Structure 1
Amino acid sequence: MLKSPLAIFLCFIFSSIYAEQSEPTVEEICKQVAPGTTIIYPNTCDKWVRCPSSFGAEDYEEGSCVFGLYFNKDTGRCESIEDVVCPYASAETSNRCATKEDGTFLEDPDNCSGYVFCINGKEMQSACPYGLIFNPEQSACVYSKDYNCVVKEAVANVNPICKAVPKGLLLANTNDCTKYYKCDEEGQLDSLECTEGEAYNYSTLKCVPRNEVVCHPLAPELEPELDVCGSDNNTLVGYIADKESCSAYYICAQREDGKPDRQPMHLKCQTGYFFDSNTWSCRNRVNVKCYLDRCEGMGNKYVNVIGDCASYAHCKNGVTVNNGKCKTGFFFDESSQVCTQETITYAACMP
């Protein structure tokens, strides 16, 4: 059983000087990849680890290849040493002849004309005559037209975390749910971002609509996106009344791509004023027709009712609790809080 995670943030990811970075631990790698991902055990060539089935779980599984095999992180299985480039092996430490019979010929992964001859369990470097290349299938030097030699990929400058995971694997960004990483073909860690309106689901390795995403447990919560500024087919720009408040409004910015602003600024008029959509201004509340609860901001007072200037609403803690009406011939004046014979024609109570 592996120990519990020791660090929350993988600061090594954000550095471009990979040679100076230490190898990440199994726990650090498993925090970034999808649950259940199998990786090569750091600093080994023949061991592997399957990450826990869910974030925070401890059900790691470890395994090792049988004698003479290396773990291929890209295929997820153990294979012949000749067929695997171990990201942690070096010319000084890797001895492929250790498991070979004397007289075995092996190709030089860095030089098409070079080859290795095994004797007494050690590697003896040699090279074909000028103009010829080594064919490992025939254990002979041949003309280039007779064999297609491909120099195996160098691993010296591979990003530390990409050494342990398969090429092309996607990893979560624990600092931003809309972004993620990818280990490219060269072993470098590319930072990518989901398209607008989407976020990265770390368990399914896909960008999905923001309202469906399961963000990485360490990533900050997504800021809510609003639809008050219209849709892709009907974008609204400017000042838009808040449908839940008579005094509040949004400022929908114009975007260069023509799409609606999903994070508009939300503001509120000063006490005693309501937002007027017709003039884009904050006006005395009695001069604005608002169909929401007009008790907003009025505490335990009385307010005019839309459609009948003789009627009023009784407020309690800023919410309507009941309605009343002045006697015949009287109108309710919200400003003075009384029924009066003076005709009231506030926009707030007109039909």
Structure 2
Amino acid sequence: MWAAHLLPALILCSLSFQGPSYVGAHSTQFTCEADGKFPDNENPQLYFICTNGVVSEGHCESGESFDFNPQQCAPYGSKGECVDQPEGALIPHDDDHRFYKCSHQVAYQITCVANLVFNPAVNVCDWDKELHPEYNVCEGMPNCLIPDNADPTRYYRCTDGHRISLACPSGKSFDPTNKTCVDLNYDICTDEAEGDMVPHTDENRFYKCSHGVGYQITCWEPLVFKYGRCNWASAEELPTVVYLGPCHGQEDGALVANSADPKAYFLCFNGTSQSQTCLSGSSFDTNSQSCVAFGTSCVDKADGTFLPHATNPTKFYICDHNIGYEKSCPRGLVFNPAKSVCDWPSAG
């Protein structure tokens, strides 16, 4: 099987013109290099719209992020996919053409390009030709060049939804990011296993080994090849992620808080989770296992402020955006406002 492309590679077809620079309200500088929609790497809810070299800013609705392959906003994961997962973890989606990337325990959807599928074993979008019958990879694509995922020495030219199969000159393969034919490396993969990825002397590139030959792939700017994948230059190595879900080990009927949304929780049954939402004006309290009304004492309070409950010493509020989310202390403890913790009654 050929064709593992690291996540950002081959997301969009590139055109040739250079556009103006732009600095948005969130201080992200962006330069148009093609018409289309492009993600803002600082904020997953924002994106840039380039039209004839002119750039404007788009914003997804609350609860959505920009999925840069279909170039549209997509809902966050709703099954607790990123609960207790490390920052940057990649989690399989119910649709194998998609996956989630975790940030602050929120699951942001990303779709693989050109009908590739997400391979969680190596965290890449991949395609096994034997599992996927021939189809028109150019259907619905803009005019551009895309790789032939069955043969790294070939590529397609997409024109008005039609495809033309082309081949690189002898001794060269198609780099799916740069959209050019580049030299094969016949030496670097001599002692490597099939499918291994080997660093290039340029940190933005790597070689994928197939039949003892190294095929060059360039990471999508500004990523570099690090820890066996295209990654942020500042990224730390992530542990192997085994996604168990929020209801793993929970009894049937258990309720588990959704850390991405205080108004939501999960109902567990046979180890699977079903997303539930409290009624308007209430949030989920883990210890009482129930939805409770918002508090009104958080107006003009800083986010993260802890406030005592007006009538019940075993409860307290956490402030977020002027809303007080009611929480209960574990059995036998009371809220200590001096320390902003649940404490033994005698400690007050």
TM range (shorter): under 0.3
Task: Flag the structure with higher strand content.
Answer: 2
Relative contact order, higher structure (CA 8 A, sep 6+): 2
TM-score (norm 1): 0.25
Task: Flag the structure with higher helix content.
Answer: 1
The structure number with the bigger radius of gyration is 1
